[in-house]
Amino acid sequence: MGFSRAVTRMAAALALVAVTSCGGMAGSLRGGTPAARTATASPSVSGAPEAVALESSFERVIKRVLPAIVQITTTTGLGSGVVYDTAGHIVTNAHVVGKAREFQVTLATGGKPRRATLVNAFPAGDLAMIKVDDPSGLTPATFGRSAQLQVGQIVLAMGNPLGFSGSVTQGIVSALGRTVSGQGPTGTPGATITNAIQTSAPINPGNSGGALVDLSGKVIGIPTLAAVDPELGAAPGIGFAIPSDTATDVAGQIIKFGRVVNSRRAALGVRVGTAVDADGNPIGAVVGAVTPGSGAQQAGIKPGDVIVSVGGVPTPTANALSQVLATLRPGDKTQVRVLHPDAQTSTVTVTLNELPPTE
């Protein structure tokens, strides 16, 4: 599956990459000298009471939540998932499942892999749900309310980075309300995550689809993206998670209806790519197709037009347009500035539609 993809975020000099699983990757752990390997360390009892209490909290949360974290394996890669209920439903990222329809699920507590099948996916929000054939012994996670998060809260990221099952990293909630977008390997726009949780908890390939957990043991996010500087490479301590409120909304719709019936996302009603000038610099989102009856069509937007701003916010790329639209709601009216093929510009008012769940 190769799950690597570049991503971008508005108003930052960082590009983002989807945190994904690298199939066939095995770790090599080497011990020290024989004496070092057989030595027994004595637990410290001299730590400050606050440190001991925090350590105890970590241990309690990990013991409670880790059994709900699974490894999802396809023929081309692996990722993580969170057990949603005792019926065998598991929440993960859409980019983890990719085009696969069958999976092998391994519990963090061990045991033989279990067969699972895809229930449905919501690629626009990078979420998916699969279901194991044999749900016996599954331990569902408890999902919290991401709307109640505060910057500075301590969180743990649980998943299977680089194939190391049941790994845990620690950090804080660094920021809330981010809008970040993925980008596919061919440069096409990927999923746009609204109200994303930014965290300093290290997120590595294989963490995708796992759990971001608070110290009460509740899942408050699904780790999805990590930041990469275009020139320097990985940017440690900058990761992003889909908020649990979004994840439970999507999961509930898929369980009840078999698919997402309400994306709760705004759309212009166009399919776009990124337009560039003679020097290769992005200048806007070029319209390739317009949905009949959409707000864009009713406003007179046509194929070949280039959308340069929405609501006064510049949209130099297709991803930038997706990010702006993600901050709006179906039914909103917004001003769209358009560059026409004859080099003339105009500003039109568009009533936004609902983003189809399959887009």
Per-residue model confidence (pLDDT) at position 185: 52
Residue 126: give the domain boundaries.
Answer: 1-23+52-261
Inside any domain, residue 29: no
Domain CATH code at residue 274 = 2.30.42.10
**Per the structure, how many domains does the chain have?**
2
Question: Longest Cα pair distance anywhere in the chain, in angstroms?
Answer: 78
Cα–Cα dist 9/240, whole Å: 11
CA angle 229–232–238, rounded 5-degree value: 40
The pLDDT of residue 86 is 96
Do 252 and 298 fall within a single domain? no
| Exposed/middle/buried for residue 310 (C-beta within 10 Å: 0-12, 13-18, 19+) | buried
**Beta strands 114-122; 353-354: pairing state:** unpaired
The reply to whether 139 falls in a domain is yes
pLDDT, residue 9, reads 38
Would residue 35 count as lying in a domain? no
Q: How far apart, in whole angstroms, are the C-alpha atoms of residue 196 and residue 203?
A: 14
Which of 246, 261, 276 finishes a domain?
A: 261
Q: Same domain, yes or no, for 285 and 165?
A: no
Any idea how long the chain is?
359
Note whether 306 and 344 are same-domain residues.
yes
Answer yes or no: is 33 within a domain. Answer: no
Residues 178 and 314 in one domain: no
Can you give the pLDDT at residue 48?
81
Domain co-membership, 186 together with 57:
yes
Query: Is 134 inside a domain boundary?
Result: yes
Report the half-sphere exposure of 152 (CA within 13 A, side-chain side): 1
Per-residue confidence (pLDDT) for residue 6, from 0 to 100: 36
CA nearest neighbour of 268 among 358, 197, 328? 328
Domain boundary among 204, 227, 261: 261
- 84 with 151, same domain? yes
State how far the Cα of 123 lies from the Cα of 237, in Å rounded to an integer. Answer: 26
Structure tokens at 245: 């409120």
Host H or E run for residue 73: strand 69-73
- 254 and 149 belong to one structural domain: yes
Ranges in the chain, pLDDT < 70: 1-47, 182-190, 230, 232-234, 358-359
Q: Does 270 lie in the same domain as 233?
A: no
Do 250 and 301 have their domain in common? no
Active site residues: 95, 126, 208
In 96-160 the beta strands, taken as DSSP E runs, fall at 102-107, 114-122, 127-132, 142-143, 154-159
Q: Is 203 inside any structural domain?
A: yes
274-293 tens-digit pLDDT: 999 988 999 999 999 999 99
- The pLDDT, as a whole number, for residue 190 is 67
Residue 236: per-residue pLDDT: 77
> How distant, in Å, are the alpha carbons of 16, 134, 165, 243, 348 from that of 181?
8, 35, 27, 14, 26
Domain of residue 161, CATH code: 2.40.10.120
Tokens describing residue 232: 């320097």
pLDDT score recorded for residue 316: 93
Residues 225 and 205 sit within 8 Å (Cβ to Cβ): no
Are 79 and 167 part of one and the same domain? yes
